[in-house]
Amino acid sequence: MTAAATLLQPKARTASMSRRHVETALLLGPALLVLALLFVVPLARLFSLAFTDPAGPFATFGVLAESSVYRQVMWNTFVVALMVTALCVLLAWPVAYVLSRLEGVWFGIALYGVLFPFWISVLVRTFSWMLLLERNGPINRLLMATGITEAPLALLFNNVGVLIGMIHILLPYMILPLYGAMVRIDRRLLLASDGLGASLLDTFRRIYLPLCLPGLAGGATFVFLLSLGFFITPALLGGSNAITLSMLIASFVNDRLAWSLAAAGSLALLAIVLVLMGLAARLLPIERGLFAR
């Protein structure tokens, strides 16, 4: 609509716009209602439990903070999530790079190789890892048969098992955003850098890496958040030796019926995640890399 037309028909314009607002509200309504009733309300109710403990409004947080066991669990959760994220970055980088350079049939095959694990349920994959990693499982037998180790390694029911299982499940979440960033990088930018006299390291550090940052940050965020809240894999592969916050919260609810503690634990996790993400968004020069088209 031109400016003149807008001036001539202000009433018609506002009328049509308010009608559009009604339509929008009606279309969004059912989904909003379901979300509010089944998600927001229970969540608010859960969080309110954290502050309505008979012992006082912040007693639950006190319990969590004072117990060295709980502090250990929280620390362990973040260490595992950070290690999973870091190892996923290292493992995903070459895969994403190769994907970005492949074409045609080979690209298709490689992409399906990355996506294929999505077709199998997390539970099935985690159980498979239990079989593979157990004391007399195929991996330990292979290590011993080849003489790499004398005695079977403890690969299960500790952080090693948790890391292996979680990396396996979360790796595609790192590869795909990274691939997306890499494939958008114009090869001529790298040629231009080379022609201007930059060493290979300079070209990587000053051109390639900054242009990969949006994908790297996106993938790392996915992986970090998902690993913080991961339950099945750490529960099955870590057991009682590698307890994470999600396992602790589950045990508050299932074993001790301590709903207020579970609520406080969830809230603490949420708060820490928000702070970390805020810091990351502030510190990483992501928005500059976003110009890379």
Partner 1 sequence: MTQTGPQQGQSLRLTGVSKAYGGFKALEPTDLVVNAGEFLTLLGPSGSGKTTLLNLTAGYVEPTAGEIRIGERDVTRLPARHRNIGMVFQNYALFPHMSVGENVAYGLNVRRLPKPEIARRVNEILSLMRLDGFADRAVQQMSGGQQQRVALARALVIEPDVLLMDEPLGALDKQLRRSVQLELRRLHQKLGRTTIYVTHDQEEALVLSDRVAVMDGGRIQQLGTVDDLYDRPVNAFVAGFIGESNLLPVRVLSTSAGKASVDVEAFRRTIAVEAAPGTAAGEPARLLIRPEHVELGRDGDGVAAEIVEVIYLGELTQLTLRLESGQTLAARQITDRALRAGARVHVTWKPGHVRAVPHFPTKPTKTEKADA
Residues near partner 1, by CB under 8 A: 186, 188-189, 191-200, 202, 206-207, 210-211, 288-289, 291-293
Q: In terms of CB distance, is 47 or 208 closer to partner 1?
A: 208
**Least Å distance between CB 186 and partner 1?**
7
**Least Å distance between CB 206 and partner 1?**
7
Q: In terms of CB distance, is 51 or 208 closer to partner 1?
A: 208
Q: In terms of CB distance, is 11 or 188 closer to partner 1?
A: 188
**Least Å distance between CB 279 and partner 1?**
21
**Least Å distance between CB 221 and partner 1?**
20
**Least Å distance between CB 219 and partner 1?**
18
One-letter amino acid at 123 equals L
Q: In terms of CB distance, is 43 or 200 closer to partner 1?
A: 200
**Least Å distance between CB 109 and partner 1?**
23
Q: In terms of CB distance, is 100 or 158 closer to partner 1?
A: 100
Q: Are 13 and 1 in contact (CB under 8 A)?
A: yes
Secondary structure (DSSP) of the chain: --HHHHHH-HHHHHHHHHHHHHHHHHHHHHHHHHHIIIIIHHHHHHHHHHH--TT-TTHHHHHHHH-HHHHHHHHHHHHHHHHHHHHHHHHHHHHHHHHHH--HHHHHHHHHHHHGGGGS-HHHHHHHHHHHHSTTSHHHHHHHHTTS-SS----SSSHHHHHHHHHHHHHHHHHHHHHHHHHHS-HHHHHHHHHTT--HHHIIIIIIHHHHHHHHHHHHHHHHHHHHT--HHHHHHTGGGS--HHHHHHHHHHTS--HHHHHHHHHHHHHHHHHHHHHHHHHS-HHHHTT--
Residue 51 phi, psi dihedral angles, 5° rounding: -100, 0
**Least Å distance between CB 168 and partner 1?**
33
Q: In terms of CB distance, is 256 or 288 closer to partner 1?
A: 288
Residues counted in the chain: 293
d(CA 228, CA 132): 24
Q: In terms of CB distance, is 204 or 231 closer to partner 1?
A: 204
